[in-house]
Amino acid sequence: MEDKNNAVGMGEPGNLELFSHLVRIADNVAQTNDRIARNLPVKPLLKSLLSGRRFGSHVTAITLKTFIQHLKQINEIEEIPVHKLLEYLSIVLEGKALDWWSAHKLDVTTLGDLEEGLTEVYLGVDWKGKVRADFLLRSQGDGETMAQYITVLTNMAQCMGVTDVAKEVYNRAAMGLRKEYYDYFRPKKHHSLDLLLEMGRETEISSAMKERYRPPPSKASCWVPDFAAETRTPVPCNPRTRNVHAVMESRPMRNRETRKRCFSCHSDDHLISACPRLRKFRNDVSENF
């Protein structure tokens, strides 16, 4: 009776589909492991791909682009064909990426097809079009340096798959600069991305120097503290007075001679040790005891 129920359970469409999916995954892993054993030794870049962390969890646009760049480097530097490189994906991918690869591996023949498929799975349909729209409207934010601005634009251009990244980034950055950068920007002089970065550094250094700059004092005036220049307090030219009191108005010095006073009766003619009132109090207390 139990065998009959198990047979009925295995015959359900959902369980049968799950079982066949697990069989396909196990078959792919076995084939890949056998292929790795036959193709030893493994080259460094390929070895780092196979022994590193699997791709498929916590995927962002940058991590996806980095993964595809890694595959392209293995193809170009170590001269491993694309069709052999795609065969290793069954042990490199995990999660939704592995599910997508198991269903579409017969249709994927290039790394471009792989990138488009994974982008659609993790980032959505027409994601590059959305990034393109944001790229065209992206301007330099408040407090954002030139290097940070160009880095953001470069990442966006690479995710869009632009062929000439430097040109696209320069054209966008030249139109999205903040107001203070346009005072130093010259299109004929800063006609490349490197020159634009150099101009941005010079602008930032110049702005920092302007905030810290104070005009030097004239020869007729003596040294004054920093806050004197800010409040513009007139300071008399006295070379002997080289302290903070130079910016203050002249005040009569207090008499340092302090008067002696009794702390018990507050009299000025004696101290507390010779106070008659305190002596009388002590005598009265001693008589009571």
Q: What is the 3-state secondary structure (H, E, C) of the chain?
A: CHHHHHHHHHCCHHHHHHHHHHHHHHHHHHHHHHHHHHCCCCCHHHHHHHHCCCECCCCCHHHHHHHHHHHHHHHHHCCCCHHHHHHCHHHHECCHHHHHHHHHCCCCCCHHHHHHHHHHHHCCCCHHHHHHHHHHHCCCCCCCCHHHHHHHHHHHHHHHCCCCHHHHHHHHHHHCCCHHHHCCCCCCCCCCHHHHHHHHHHHHHHHHHHHHCCCCCCCCCCCCCHHHHHHCCCCCCCCCCCCHHHHCCCCCCCCCCCCCCCCCCCCCCCCHHHCHHHHHHHHHHHHHC
Residue partners of 160: CB distance under 8 A and separation at least 6: 128, 131, 132, 135
Question: Is residue 272 a part of any domain in this protein?
Answer: no
Question: Is residue 222 a part of any domain in this protein?
Answer: no
Question: Is residue 271 a part of any domain in this protein?
Answer: no
Question: Does residue 189 share a domain with residue 116?
Answer: no
Question: Does residue 110 share a domain with residue 7?
Answer: yes
pLDDT at 136: 87
Question: Does residue 138 share a domain with residue 96?
Answer: no
Measured in whole angstroms, how far is the alpha carbon of residue 128 from the centre of its chain? Answer: 24
Question: Does residue 111 share a domain with residue 67?
Answer: yes
Last residue of a domain, one of 144, 177, 212: 212
Whether pTM exceeds 0.85: no
Question: Does residue 202 share a domain with residue 113?
Answer: no
Question: Is residue 279 a part of any domain in this protein?
Answer: no
Instruction: Give how many domains the chain has, as a whole number.
Output: 2
Question: Is residue 44 a part of any domain in this protein?
Answer: yes
Strand-pair partners of 93: 55
Task: List b or e across 188-227, with b for residues whose CB sees 16 or more CB atoms inside 10 angstroms.
Answer: eebeebeebbebbeebbeeeeeeeeeeeeeeeeeeebeee
In the block, which residue shows the tokens 């040790």?
273
pLDDT at 277: 82
pLDDT at 10: 46
Question: Is residue 287 a part of any domain in this protein?
Answer: no
124: left (phi over 0), alpha (psi -120 to 50) or beta: left
* Dist CA 202 CA 145 (whole Å): 11
Question: Does residue 108 share a domain with residue 33?
Answer: yes
Question: Does residue 100 share a domain with residue 7?
Answer: yes
Strand-pair partners of 73: none
Question: Is residue 8 a part of any domain in this protein?
Answer: yes
Tens-level pLDDT at each residue, the chain (289 residues): 444 444 444 446 567 777 677 777 777 666 666 655 555 466 888 888 888 888 888 888 888 888 988 999 988 998 888 888 888 888 889 888 888 988 888 888 998 889 889 988 888 888 888 888 888 888 888 888 888 889 889 888 888 878 888 889 998 988 888 888 887 888 777 788 888 888 888 888 888 777 666 555 555 544 444 444 444 445 455 554 444 444 444 455 555 556 677 877 878 888 878 888 877 777 766 665 5
Question: Residue 141 belongs to what domain range?
Answer: 129-212
pLDDT at 179: 85
Question: Is residue 68 a part of any domain in this protein?
Answer: yes
Question: Does residue 72 share a domain with residue 48?
Answer: yes
Question: Does residue 133 share a domain with residue 62?
Answer: no
Question: Does residue 104 share a domain with residue 189?
Answer: no
Question: Does residue 110 share a domain with residue 9?
Answer: yes
Q: What tokens were used for 63?
A: 């991590």
Last residue of a domain, one of 124, 139, 162: 124
Q: Count CB atoms within 10 A of the CB of residue 266.
A: 8
In the block, which residue shows the tokens 């020159």?
195
pLDDT at 257: 55
Question: Does residue 107 share a domain with residue 15?
Answer: yes
Last residue of a domain, one of 66, 92, 124: 124
* Dist CA 212 CA 229 (whole Å): 13
